[in-house]
Each structure stands twice: as structure tokens, then as C-alpha cells.
Amino acid sequence: MPQAAIIGGGFAGMTMALFLKKHGMSSAIDEARDKNYTSGGNIALAPNTLRVPDHAGVYDCKEYNFQALRVHRTIIRDVLRAELERQDVPVVYSKRCVSVINDDATKDIVTVAFEGGERITANFVIGADGIHSRI
């Protein structure tokens, strides 16, 4: 059982999993979209934003601090995915969360239910599934 169930495998969910791993916590990511899903084109990342991937260990720090960067979203996604795989953080695709259940009898365990009836348990749940998240 992972300590954290991360619902959402976008940039936020993947980066959160790397930070948790860095601090000795296990997690697993469940993403509603297919593994081959792509969205949008380029993304502009400001200098302060680039500190996040640097602290997560997936950005090569430049000699003159952090520069602004314009990069295609798939490049960032692929780098994060590769690092998750290298660190053995599980990511499951095409798995849509339908509810989160916190049973009062087991306050330190949360159950996440998915379409199709599958359920997982964790110590806590992180909603990283976008702006319209109900998690």
C-alpha cells in the first residue's frame, strides 16, 4: 500500500510523486487519460517555475541561475515519466477516480474507488487531477 495515492498524472502529480520519493514517502499515480494522450503545444516556464523541476532532480541547473524556458509539453512529460520509471514510482493510465472514502473506523486509511469497481487504499490522497477536481 502506498503512503500517498496521487490522482492525476499531469505535471503536478508527477512532480509531487518525485518530491514525496525524495523525502522517503511512497506513492502511486492514477491517471484518467490514456498514456499516449498529448495536450497543447509549447509552454513557457518562468525562472521561479524552473526551480520546481530542479528541486525534483529533473532540470539541469544552468551556470547563470534559471533562465526562462519555452518547451513543448511532451518534452517535460517524457522527462518526468522517465524519472518516475527510474525511481520505480508506479503510474497507471486509463483509470478514472469516482470517489474517495474515509471510513471513520480507519482514520489513517483512505480508500479510492475507480470506474469499473477497483479500489485502492493509502494513508492519504492527493488530488492533482486538474482545475475541475472534486478530489
C-alpha distances in angstroms, 128 versus 39, 67, 116, 133? 16, 26, 21, 8
In this structure, what are the phi and psi dihedrals at residue 127, rounded to the nearest 5 degrees? -90, 105
Sequence-separated (6 or more) residues with CB below 8 Å from residue 135: 7, 8, 97, 100, 125, 126, 127, 129
Residue-range domain boundaries for the chain? 4-127
Averaged confidence pLDDT in the chain: 87
Which CATH architecture describes the domain 4-127? 3-Layer(bba) Sandwich (3.50)
Tell me the C-alpha distance between 8 and 126, whole Å. Answer: 9
CA pair distance 13, 119, nearest whole angstrom: 19
**Angle, to 10 degrees, between the axis of helix 73-86 and the axis of helix 47-55?**
20
Taking only the tens of pLDDT, the chain with its 135 residues reads 779 999 999 999 999 999 999 999 999 999 999 988 887 778 888 877 778 888 888 777 565 566 778 888 888 899 999 999 999 999 999 999 999 988 767 678 999 999 999 999 999 999 999 888 878
Contact call for residues 84 and 58 (beta carbons, < 8 A): no
